[in-house]
Amino acid sequence: MSGTRRKPGRLGPFVEGYRLRLGVLGYPPSSVRNKLKELGQLGRWMAGQGIEVTQLNDSRVGDFLAAWREAGGRRIPRLRSFAPLLDYLRDEGVIAAAEPAPATALDELIGGYRRWLVADRGLAPATVVRYEKLARRFLGQRERPVAVADLSGAEVTAFLLAECGRVSIGSAKGRVAELRALSRYLYLHGMTPRNLAEAVPPVAGWRDTAVPAGMTAGDMERLLASCDRSRPAGVRDFAILMLLARLGLRSAEVACLELEDLDWRAGEIAVRGKARRQDRLPLLPDVGEAVASYLAAVPERAGTRRVFLTVSAPRRPIRPDLVGDVVERACRRAGLAPAGAHRLRHGLATEMLRQGATLTSISQVRGIRIWRLPPFMPRSTPPGCARSPGPGREQPHDRAQPGRRGLSDAAQVPGPQA
């Protein structure tokens, strides 16, 4: 199991192809050398054990690591370190695809629930994952997980109360929505005799009782200036911040952007929002320049059409929570209080309002809810903002064209400069 330079055994024919794959995935040269070294050690072990390449799988790699450990090897990699190699061999048709674990009755129920959330409810992938996790945890803690005919409202309420004791108010509200969705699914598909969604109690905690906290144009400039655009990570973060600050995109909308969504000739960007909603927004010149600079800095796309990828290898599409991390890191670099990605969205709405845009036109542009307050509460106006007509009092020029949202007001707002 020594690390000296020797022939890679049974895996010799795949060295060069694997080297190219690692480069596409964004591994630096030092990591590529280590990965090829591990390939050689595995190939020589396979030759000694009489194992053909077509017989290689996760279990065989586990046996190799165990033998390496018994031989007193040092710095033994983990099984997941060989995931890129196994994926490459599967893509090349050398080894069979990994066999999924046998599905249990609970897996089948959750699978049907997942399909319903996607096809009937139109939820975003990240939301589906969250709903699915809650359903699996709730049903899995029951003595008979799939025997839900005797499920009672008291059982649902008890689970919700236990969840509320360990999570924030916002997360508890999410649990309510998730439990109600699961209860509706079970009832609509005849698994429970009653719709227990009505038995899930609401969680106290009113929203929209004040003007949402925004971010000033000066703070946005400091965030943008904190990005080191001499490095790939800085170029990517700068493009993400521009989309948040100038177009008011949500974290999930930024993460899900694909190359086909950028219409360079028309100067537009397609945005897939909540509930299968699709909008086309003007691709403002400074935003387009920031995104184009990022795409030029990362020519290798790692087989994906997503716009934004991780910096570290293996390079893959970013998740929505990474967009929030980008904003938080930028706040620390700029010496600002930590803030989430939504703060920039609210900052755009506040700046549009300050420049004279109406509340109705702002909500039409990006669906920003800044006037949804309880009827018994006065509507506040951010300092320096002119009072604008609320819902039902919009002016004729405020009405957007059907099926298309414009940034007529936003495009005139002097946003943060690069």
Q: Say whether pLDDT at 80 is over 70.
A: yes
Q: What are phi and psi of 271, to 5 degrees?
A: -120, 125
Report the alpha-carbon angle 250-409-241, nearest 5.
Answer: 35
Which of 99-103, 178-182, 310-314, 365-369 is least confident? 365-369
Alpha-carbon distances, residue 2 vs 42, 84, 392 (angstroms): 11, 22, 76
User: What pLDDT, on a 0 to 100 scale, did the predictor assign at position 387?
Assistant: 46
Q: Say whether pLDDT at 97 is over 60.
A: yes
User: What pLDDT, on a 0 to 100 scale, did the predictor assign at position 75?
Assistant: 83
Q: Could you tell me what percent of the chain has a pLDDT over 70?
A: 83
User: What pLDDT, on a 0 to 100 scale, did the predictor assign at position 349?
Assistant: 82
User: What pLDDT, on a 0 to 100 scale, did the predictor assign at position 62?
Assistant: 94
Asked if 44 contacts 15 with a C-beta cutoff of 8 angstroms, the reply is no
Q: Where are the beta strands (DSSP E) in 129-267?
A: 262-263
- Place 53 in a pLDDT band, splitting at 50, 70 and 90: very high
Model-wide pTM > 0.75: no
Q: Say whether pLDDT at 93 is over 50.
A: yes
What is the C-alpha to C-alpha distance for residues 209 and 192, in angstroms, rounded to an integer?
Answer: 38
What is the C-alpha to C-alpha distance for residues 213 and 344, in angstroms, rounded to an integer?
Answer: 9
Q: Count of residues for the chain?
A: 418
Alpha-carbon distances, residue 328 vs 223, 312, 341, 342, 387 (angstroms): 10, 19, 8, 11, 32
Q: Is 381 exposed, middle or buried (0-12, 13-18, 19+ CB in 10 A)?
A: middle
User: What pLDDT, on a 0 to 100 scale, did the predictor assign at position 269?
Assistant: 93
Q: What is the pLDDT of residues 297-336, one digit of tens each?
A: 987 777 889 999 998 888 889 998 899 999 999 999 999 9
Average pLDDT score over residue span 54-63: 93
Asked if 312 contacts 25 with a C-beta cutoff of 8 angstroms, the reply is no
- Spatial neighbors of 66 by CB under 8 A, at least 6 apart, are none
CA-closest candidate to residue 189, choices 276, 120, 103: 120
Average pLDDT score over residue span 141-147: 89
User: What pLDDT, on a 0 to 100 scale, did the predictor assign at position 206?
Assistant: 64
What is the C-alpha to C-alpha distance for residues 240 and 290, in angstroms, rounded to an integer?
Answer: 9
* DSSP assigned state of 399: P
Q: What is the pLDDT of residues 362-388, one digit of tens each?
A: 776 655 544 444 444 344 445 555 444
- Spatial neighbors of 118 by CB under 8 A, at least 6 apart, are 128
3-class state of residue 167 by DSSP: coil
- Supply 391's token pair: 């819902």
Which of 104-108, 196-200, 391-395 is least confident? 391-395
Q: Say whether pLDDT at 42 is over 90.
A: yes
Q: What is the pLDDT of residues 128-138, one digit of tens each?
A: 999 999 999 99
CA-closest candidate to residue 357, choices 392, 386, 383: 386
Asked if 38 contacts 82 with a C-beta cutoff of 8 angstroms, the reply is yes
What is the C-alpha to C-alpha distance for residues 228 and 235, in angstroms, rounded to an integer?
Answer: 7
- Place 413 in a pLDDT band, splitting at 50, 70 and 90: very low
Q: Say whether pLDDT at 15 is over 50.
A: yes
User: What pLDDT, on a 0 to 100 scale, did the predictor assign at position 364?
Assistant: 64
Q: Say whether pLDDT at 155 is over 90.
A: yes
- Spatial neighbors of 120 by CB under 8 A, at least 6 apart, are none
Torsion, Cα of 357, 382, 240, 286 (10° steps) = 40
Q: Say whether pLDDT at 240 is over 50.
A: yes
- Place 238 in a pLDDT band, splitting at 50, 70 and 90: very high
Which residue type is seen at 26? G
* Summary mean pLDDT of the chain: 83
Strands 278-282 and 268-272: antiparallel
User: What pLDDT, on a 0 to 100 scale, did the predictor assign at position 6?
Assistant: 64
CA-closest candidate to residue 10, choices 58, 36, 57, 45: 45
User: What pLDDT, on a 0 to 100 scale, did the predictor assign at position 43?
Assistant: 94
Task: Classify domain 105-199 at the CATH class level.
Answer: mainly alpha
Homologous superfamily (CATH) for 217-412: Intergrase catalytic core (1.10.443.10)
Which of 268-277, 306-315, 335-344 is least confident? 268-277
